[in-house]
Amino acid sequence: MSRIEEIISQEKDKLYIHEYAFMKSNTVIFSDEVRMLCNKNVCGMYGTSWACPPAVGSVEECKNRCNDFENAFMFTSLAKLKKKYDVAEWRETRLLHESITEKVARIFRDEFKESLTLSTEGCNLCEKCTYPEKPCRFPNRMFPATESFGIMVIQQAPLCNIKYNNGTNAITYFSMIFF
């Protein structure tokens, strides 16, 4: 793991990673409580994407997939907003985070035979997802949401010395990679 830590610490600023931490996969906090937000379709993505429930499986299945890996890496990007409630700006900054996640995922794929990348709020690669009729068009670029896996990011972040809230007019986006 020291090789990957070295790469990340050297590339952190070029990748626009705000904060990051390494941990053991079995220390990640999972909860059905988080998934209930998905099941109630709070974000509107439930049943519409390969990156969201029910396609990702139960929380227990997701936890088992994550625990198949020994280690996990959590990282954030930080977006300063011009207007606190500008939904278009939220979408734009989220897309930037997704591009950061893709670059970081590539680093892990280059170093490890297998890894699992999770990111924010489901996938937005395709205008219309193929779910459930056909397989995902881009399985290597589709990152399920941490929340869809039942990961309790709001509790996990402080355990990793990562700030969940970075102040007014700021959005902190989280991704995780299991390896």
- What is the average per-residue pLDDT within 129-156? 93
- Residue (of 101, 97, 98, 110) closest to 4 by Cα position: 110
Q: Give the 3-state secondary structure of residue 76.
A: strand
Question: 25 in helix, strand or coil?
Answer: helix
> DSSP H helical segments within 16-86, as ranges?
32-39, 59-67
Q: What is the mean pLDDT of residues 102-131?
A: 91
Q: Alpha-carbon distance 38 to 50, whole Å?
A: 13
**Domain boundaries in the chain?**
2-178
pLDDT at 73: 98
Residue 1 has pLDDT above 70, yes or no: no
Of 165, 20, 2, the closest CA to residue 100 belongs to 20
The pTM score is: 0.92
Under the banding of pLDDT at 50, 70 and 90, the label for residue 106 is: very high
Q: Could you report the per-residue pLDDT of 35-93, keeping only the tens digit for each?
A: 888 878 788 888 999 999 999 999 999 999 999 999 999 999 999 888 877 778 888 88
pLDDT for 165 beyond 70: yes
Average pLDDT over residues 104-125: 91
Indicate if the pLDDT at residue 17 is higher than 80: yes
Please say whether the beta carbons of 144 and 52 come within 8 A.
yes
